Amino acid sequence: MHLLASNVIIFPNWRQPEELLRLDLERVIKAIATHPDSNQITLIIDITGIDTEDAHLVVSGVIMDLLFAEDLDITTKCDISLLGNLDPIEWKSIASRVHTRIILENENQESLANLLVENIPAYKIEYFSNLSVGKLIEDCSNRLFQQRRWLEAIAQYQNLLEISSGDVEIYARLSHCYKQLNLLDEYFQTLQQAIQLHPTQGNLHFELIIELRRNGRIESAILSAENAANCLPDDYTFQILKYLTIPSVYDNEEQISFYRQRFIQGLQTLIAQTSLKTTEERHSALAGIGRLTNFYLSYQAQNDIDLQRQYGQLMHEIMAANFPQWVVPLPMPKLEPQQKIRVGYVSYYLHSYSGTLWLTGWLRHCDRENFEIHCYYIGNEPDPVTQQFLDYSDVFHHIPHNLSAVCDQIIADQLHILVFPEIGMNPQTMQMAGLRLAPVQCTAWGHPVTTGLPTIDYFLSSELMEVENAQKHYSEKLIRLPNIGVSYPKPYIPPVVKTRSDFQLPDDAIIYLSCQAPFKYLPQYDFIFAEIAHRVPQAKFVFLRGSLIQPRLKRAFAAVGLDYEDYCVFLSIPERLDYLMINLLSDVYLDTFTWSGGNTSLEAIACNLPIVTYPGEFMRGRHSDSFLKMLGVTDTIALNTAEYIEIAVKLGLDPVWRHDVSQRISQRHDRLFDDKACVLGLEAFYKQVVEASL
């Protein structure tokens, strides 16, 4: 069969009267032959139900009739191939290269049913005649794309680009196919080709920069940001990216210092160059900060208060320039007798998300006689946890992706206190936090870093997580709530229904679980894994999201004469059940340095998994430390890196001690989960701050 750029198939009913059959064939063959792109089209005729020779005779007769009646020489206009008696497997190998089915008056219904042709775009002859080959291939490509048949879609999009320059959407879909298959070089090359053809398409630039950074290609990301800023000089998004792009993962410790200095200088330049004089400038700056946060800065393990204040002031000025009505101080609403204090919680993440799961406890244990709870869900991924927030609220608003509408609603509700559970992960939340929507505004440790915003008054933290002089880490006034500061619901842990072999893990290994996001691993601590492996020969380190740090681990293990592939396992665990199974099947949980596990550590504790941790200087590095202190299981808390290694090795080599630690954890869950003392402390703070303002 000779297939061309566009391949069209028909399914004639060979059992119908010959006159009608010939009429169907004549109309189709004529439509193909007279099509403007006929030389790029192959017509495939299904001949199931008729002898091949008989089918040739009929088709040849039709071609001769067209030659004599209309002087139409089909042989010079298009290719015709006869295809019949295919089984489903043979058909599948051909179907992805068939772009179109022409619908006939009378069709072979048996063939249509057997070959499952519903995946092929189908048109009546009249409509087909007005479609270009490019449109036919594009429709087929998009159908494959929608069916998530990535490889087949790639072939067709490439086919399409060979005959046309390609619009933005074609390149966007083609790049998406490559991304889904983790073909990153092809993915980035496709985006770059698209940008060359469409240099003013901001979305292409944005995706390229963000994904290059996310995948550890920081130099390319910065070059792409500079190119985007040149192509779109009036788009504030690319001014931010040009000056403030830093790595998500560092290759070595020296890089941290280099990129921190780059950020410091870039922020100063960005502030100096930011103009908000014209309407266009104000709107562009607003759109820019609505697409980005400075999320990765705080993963350098340094005190960010000065940089956060500068960045926060810039965010506030941009918001004030766009919404001057929402930055003026607000008086504290009066509390009439029997009236409740109105507390609002606003977040993009009022669903199953590690940064807000803890918040359900504050709401569930709320003193309903004295407080009225308002929740504002500005994201749009509702799930059973969203239902919990709704159930625990007196008033619940779901206002997704509409900044003005949610701000209007908050103002109308006349809150006494507004709490942002996290600030710094979601751009719209950051924008809102730069406004004055309530007399008192707080944030909490859903994102455990000071905001630097002049509009956030208090940081709700934990007495167990903060060092003595911690106020110097915050632009907000630090409030140390009792214990860990949150009432975390005890997770449901299922019975062990899988084995290590289900995850290709050996039964005799000592499994060290290390399940943090790659940006939590700093290069100066890579040697820890190699040192543990050197002393625990059966060690297996299971990383669930750590593929970006593989080159670093390779170097660290090689430095002590080991091959990291003998010890490091990189798993992708999309299902929650499998994630919990990995916790239950592991022996030891290794906490990350400088930025501790939060939700992950709490779930490891619920699985009775011993945790090795070394508390850092800042609250974000002291989560696991506080959890273990609240449990009263403190013998796996290290005072330095050397002791961290010693504890990890002892847990690996001493199964009796390991079991003892696990047992003590299991017996003390009630000390940690669903803590009500922190809620009493929180509500005492709320009452005090409202009374002080009246």
Residue 24 reports pLDDT greater than 90: no
Residue type at 280?
A: E
Do 367 and 492 meet the contact criterion of CB atoms below 8 Å apart?
A: no
Q: What is the pLDDT of residues 649-682, one digit of tens each?
A: 999 999 999 999 999 999 999 999 999 999 999 9
Gap between the Cα atoms of 68 and 74, Å rounded: 11
- DSSP letter, residue 336: -
State whether the Cα torsion 34-38-39-43 is positive or negative: negative
CA torsion angle for 175, 140, 94, 125 (degrees, to 10)? -160
Q: Are strands 100-103 and 371-377 parallel, antiparallel or unpaired?
A: unpaired
Domains and their CATH numbers in the chain: 6-131 (3.40.50), 152-325 (1.25.40.10), 330-481 (3.40.50.11380), 500-672 (3.40.50.2000)
For 300-426, where are the alpha helices, taking DSSP H only?
305-322, 359-364, 384-391, 403-413
* 241-270 mean pLDDT: 97
Q: Which residues contact 134 (CB under 8 A, 6 or more apart)?
A: 160, 163, 164
CA 257 to chain CA centroid, Å, is: 28
Closest-CA residue to 101 (of 148, 130, 133, 136): 136
Sheet strands side by side (includes 395-398):
395-398, 371-377, 341-347, 417-420, 440-444, 458-462, 477-481
For position 526, what pLDDT does the model report? 97
For position 3, what pLDDT does the model report? 54
Question: ∠ CA 453-454-457 to the nearest 5 degrees?
Answer: 95
Do 383 and 389 meet the contact criterion of CB atoms below 8 Å apart?
A: no
CA-based radius of gyration for the chain: 32
Two structure tokens written together for 109: 């219904």
Do 565 and 629 meet the contact criterion of CB atoms below 8 Å apart?
A: no
CA 652 to chain CA centroid, Å, is: 34
Q: How many CB atoms lie within 10 A of CB 269?
A: 14
List beta partners, residue 420: 443
Residue 133 reports pLDDT greater than 90: no
For position 73, what pLDDT does the model report? 62
Do 279 and 323 meet the contact criterion of CB atoms below 8 Å apart?
A: no
Please, what is the average pLDDT of the chain? 92
For position 248, what pLDDT does the model report? 94
| pLDDT band per the 50, 70, 90 thresholds, residue 75 | low
What are the backbone dihedrals phi and psi of residue 212, each rounded to the nearest 5 degrees, phi first?
Answer: -60, -45
User: What region does 254 belong to: left with phi over 0, alpha with psi -120 to 50, or beta?
Assistant: alpha
* 350-361 mean pLDDT: 90
* 222-250 mean pLDDT: 98
Closest-CA residue to 248 (of 595, 576, 621): 595
* 319-340 mean pLDDT: 95
Q: Are strands 611-612 and 588-590 parallel, antiparallel or unpaired?
A: parallel
Q: What is the pLDDT of residues 88-100, one digit of tens each?
A: 777 777 777 788 8
Q: Which of 59-68, 127-136, 191-200 has maximum average pLDDT?
A: 191-200
* 194-201 mean pLDDT: 96
For position 662, what pLDDT does the model report? 98
Residue 530 reports pLDDT greater than 90: yes
* 533-548 mean pLDDT: 93
* 245-266 mean pLDDT: 97
Gap between the Cα atoms of 550 and 677, Å rounded: 43
Percent of the chain with pLDDT strictly greater than 70? 97
Residue type at 380?
A: N
Gap between the Cα atoms of 294 and 306, Å rounded: 14
| pLDDT band per the 50, 70, 90 thresholds, residue 45 | confident
User: Helix (H, G, I), strand (E, B), or coil: what is residue 248?
Assistant: coil
Closest-CA residue to 428 (of 408, 402, 450, 454): 402
Residue 690 to residues 333, 335, 365, 634, 676: CA-CA distances in angstroms?
9, 9, 20, 38, 21
Residue 11 reports pLDDT greater than 70: yes
Q: Which residues contact 537 (CB under 8 A, 6 or more apart)?
A: none
Q: Are strands 588-590 and 568-570 parallel, antiparallel or unpaired?
A: unpaired
Gap between the Cα atoms of 264 and 308, Å rounded: 11
Q: What is the pLDDT of residues 418-455, one digit of tens each?
A: 999 999 999 999 999 999 999 999 999 999 999 999 99
- DSSP letter, residue 155: H
Q: Which residues contact 36 (CB under 8 A, 6 or more apart)?
A: 132
Do 447 and 428 meet the contact criterion of CB atoms below 8 Å apart?
A: no
What are the backbone dihedrals phi and psi of residue 596, each rounded to the nearest 5 degrees, phi first?
Answer: -75, 160
Closest-CA residue to 613 (of 599, 627, 632): 627
Q: Which residues contact 225 (CB under 8 A, 6 or more apart)?
A: 209, 238, 241, 242, 245
* 297-311 mean pLDDT: 97
